[in-house]
Amino acid sequence: MTKNCLICSHNIEPFISFGPQPIANGFLLPDQFKNEYFFQMDVAFCPKCTMVQLMDQPDREKMFHSNYAFYSSTSSHMAKHFEKFANEVMMKYQPSFVVEIGSNDGIMLKHFANKGIKHLGIEPSANVADESRLHGVNVVSRFFDESLAEDIVGEYGQADCILSANVMAHIPDLHSVFAGIKKLLKPGGVLIFEDPYMGDILEKTSYDQIYDEHAFFFSLNSIEYLAKQHGMETIDAYPQETHGGSMRYTVANRGTHLKNDRVRAWMEKEEYMDMDKPATYEKFRQNVEKSRENLLQVLTEIKRNGGNIVGYAATAKSATITNYCEIGPDLIDFICDTTPIKQGKFSPGMHIPVKSYAEFTGKHPSHSLLFAWNHTKEIMEKETGFKGKWIVYVPEVKVL
Ligand code: SAH
Ligand code: TYD
């Protein structure tokens, strides 16, 4: 099966298949099991523009709606991260109008609102958009694209800064997004966005970043290719620890800003890592298969020896792990999670019960499988009372 690359139209074919996968944030009740939606999750690398991408993605309305289960502010470390991000933008650019694409519950934009800076969030998932309004954030509950950008310019004028975190990689039609950004941004303005970085995914075999919402897995090279097609360029690339390794890109109209030296350094690193070579992705596929084998072996061994396992955090990432490895309620008693909207429901695809955090602390299991491995620091700080063992699978499967 081949398709056209979403960025450069070159013919692409998958290097890995995860089989049928559910909506990763689609927590459900038993009466919904029968009609649960699945899509074929295959991933391709484009040798021309180097973009790694899903071959197919569910319709956006199936993923982002008024019952969207991901609330950004469930992590205190992420709250601090976005406060710092907002402060850096204020200090560096002193913007008079800021737009954020995918502002969720207002985790970042509320800091601009608090300072009285003109701002606008674009957030199609109505429940999280409503939550942000409670924090004084102005928000439009629509999907960002070129036509929305035109409407915003008509009503509010052009922006100095357009910000986005963990959203650009969710939007298959990035050409419409970039065309919209060109119109919405003042000629000398900047687009600053961050997303999980393909270099980290390769280095850590963190294949759980691959799920329905993530249409793309960015590298600096692929972003530079995309930006160039719209008369823009990457002027900075700054690594972040969030989501297990992300990259923050600053993009501007070509020739309007100086390029930070980091851009060249990261381009060289990507070349050194052979991120433009198909063989790199073939090796990744082998590592993913080995990781699945090791994890299943560890879990079945624990069960055979009479242990019990609870999943820690019903992350979207855990949908890929549980469905791809076929880990169900026979191996995991339940998954604990602090998000009220997920509790009392069942995990997508494998239907593992999702329970409150109190169920975990009330009766500690012998083992806990850390699905929110990207929040390890925050979780270890608060779980000093847990005397059982942690099972981790990134960068490799281990029992700690
Ligand atoms: N920025 C937040 C939220 C990331 S989750 C954070 O980093 O924590 C992804 C968000 O993107 C969801 O809230 C979803 O509703 C939103 N989203 C998805 N497609 C979008 C689009 N086309 N335009 C704007 N937001 C979108
Ligand atoms: P995250 O890694 O951001 O999720 P995703 O893979 O969906 O992007 O983790 C957020 C989820 O983890 C959210 O459901 C809340 C849960 N969580 C806990 O239950 N306890 C915690 O201590 C933390 C930090 C997160």
Query: Which tens digits make up the pLDDT trace of 107-157?
Result: 999 999 999 999 999 999 999 999 999 999 999 999 999 999 999 999 999
Check pocket membership of 375 for ligand 2, CB cut-off 6 A. Answer: yes
Give the tens place of pLDDT for each residue, 65-115: 999 999 999 999 999 999 999 999 999 999 999 999 999 999 999 999 999
Predicted pLDDT at 264: 98
Evaluated on CA atoms 144, 148, 149, 155, the torsion sign reads negative
Mutate to test the pocket of ligand 1, among 6, 100, 104 (most ligand atoms within 8 A of CB): 104
pLDDT at 384 over 90: yes
Check pocket membership of 289 for ligand 2, CB cut-off 6 A. Answer: no
| Dist. CA 140–CA 151, nearest whole Å | 11
Q: How many other CB atoms are found less than 10 A from the CB of residue 349?
A: 23
Q: What angle in degrees, to the nearest 10, is found between the helix axes of 220-229 and 174-184?
A: 60
For all residues of the chain together, what is the average pLDDT? 98
| Dist. CA 172–CA 46, nearest whole Å | 15
pLDDT at 346 over 90: yes
**Does the pTM exceed 0.75?**
yes
Residue 189: pLDDT band with limits 50, 70, 90: very high
Give the tens place of pLDDT for each residue, 195-232: 999 999 999 999 999 999 999 999 999 999 999 999 99
Predicted pLDDT at 193: 99
pLDDT at 168 over 90: yes
Burial of residue 238 (CB within 10 Å: 0-12, 13-18, 19+) is middle
C-alpha dihedral (33, 243, 310, 104), degrees to nearest 10: -50
State the distance from the centre of ligand 2 to the C-alpha of 112, rounded, in angstroms. 25
Protein residue with its CA nearest to atom 13 in ligand 1: 104
Predicted pLDDT at 1: 84
Q: Over range 19-44, report the average pLDDT.
A: 98
Q: Over range 370-387, report the average pLDDT.
A: 97
